[in-house]
């Protein structure tokens, strides 16, 4: 059976025409991943062991460090990442349920 509590936002795109409000929320999530730098940062965090990574480990994406910080902030505002300071370093980790929800938007109900 499917887990019904991991549906944060909207029905699959193939189910029906989204309402304006649904489209707004869904577009905001896609927008967070619509930048190459953010995608690289996100995949770096998502693929890191333990699902979390220090900023110092992932900031080699071709832009300056403040720019990295700006992009990480956008990913955090979109609810895709969470940050935590431990001592000198700041660690980011993914929010798995949001990722699953977005996947369901595209592929329809889970086919587990």
CA atoms within 13 A on the CB side of 9: 27
First to last CA, the chain: 8
Q: Can residue 68 be called a binding residue for DNA (CB under 7 A)?
A: yes
Return the number of the residue (40 or 76) whose C-beta is nearest a copy of itself: 40
Q: Can residue 54 be called a binding residue for a copy of itself (CB under 8 A)?
A: no
Q: Which residues pair with 100 in a beta bridge?
A: none
Exactly one of 44, 55, 82, 90 binds a copy of itself (CB under 8 A); that residue is 44
Return the number of the residue (35 or 82) whose C-beta is nearest a copy of itself: 35
Q: Can residue 112 be called a binding residue for a copy of itself (CB under 8 A)?
A: yes
Rg of the chain over all Cα atoms, to the nearest angstrom: 15
Residue 7 interacting partner from DNA, a copy of itself, none (CB closer than 5 to 8 Å by kind): none
Q: Are 75 and 42 in contact (CB under 8 A)?
A: yes
**Stretch of 1-9, 30-38, 68-76, 81-89 lying at the interface with a copy of itself (CB under 8 A):** 30-38
- Residue 48: DSSP 8-state: S
Q: Are 95 and 79 in contact (CB under 8 A)?
A: yes
Encoded one letter per residue, x for contact with DNA by CB under 7 A and - for no contact, window 27-66 reads ----x--xx-xx---------------xxx--x---xxxx
């Amino acid at each position: 059976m499917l887990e019904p509590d991991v549906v944060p936002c909207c029905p699959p795109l193939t189910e029906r025409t989204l309402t304006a409000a649904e489209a707004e929320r869904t577009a905001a999530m896609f927008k967070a991943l619509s930048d190459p730098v953010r995608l690289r940062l996100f995949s770096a965090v998502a693929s890191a062991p333990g699902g979390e990574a220090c900023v110092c480990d992932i900031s080699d994406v071709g832009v300056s460090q403040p720019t990295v910080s700006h992009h990480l902030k956008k990913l955090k505002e979109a609810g895709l990442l969470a940050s935590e300071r431990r001592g000198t370093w700041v660690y980011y980790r993914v929010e798995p349920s949001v990722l699953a929800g977005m996947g369901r938007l595209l592929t329809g109900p889970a086919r587990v």
